[in-house]
Amino acid sequence: MKMTDVAAQIQSQIGENSVVLYMKGTKEMPQCGFSSRVAGVLNYMGVDFADVNVLADEALRQGIKDFSDWPTVPQLYVKGEFVGGCDIITEMTLSGELDTLFTENGVTFDKDAADKIREANG
């Protein structure tokens, strides 16, 4: 697969889904701790998201890093915009910024679950 094809594939994925997580493994079976943490937060908050397993496709694994100019996976996209990786998503969850981002973009999530995460980590 050519890099232009990979970029087109990514563009299509982030265009067709409100929330996309590029991760190692799947949301049911993450293959690394960082992917597990971000998928866990999204699952716990009840966010409907598409998961893309970069381990299943070497071209995609490199392609997503080139696409976002971000060196690591997982990578979260909301409404076609790159939000960040594990550390950024963790910080945004704890600060409430992720709630705001989801609300502004019309992404449904469980506010009580988000509050519970903050209470447990406060």
Compute CA distances 54 → 7, 44, 72, 90, 108, whole Å.
13, 22, 11, 21, 25
86 annotated as ligand-binding: no
Name 6's Cβ contacts closer than 8 Å, sequence gap at least 6.
59, 60, 62, 63, 67
Q: What are phi and psi of 20, to 5 degrees?
A: -130, 130
**Residues marked as binding?**
32
**Residues marked as binding for [2Fe-2S] cluster?**
32
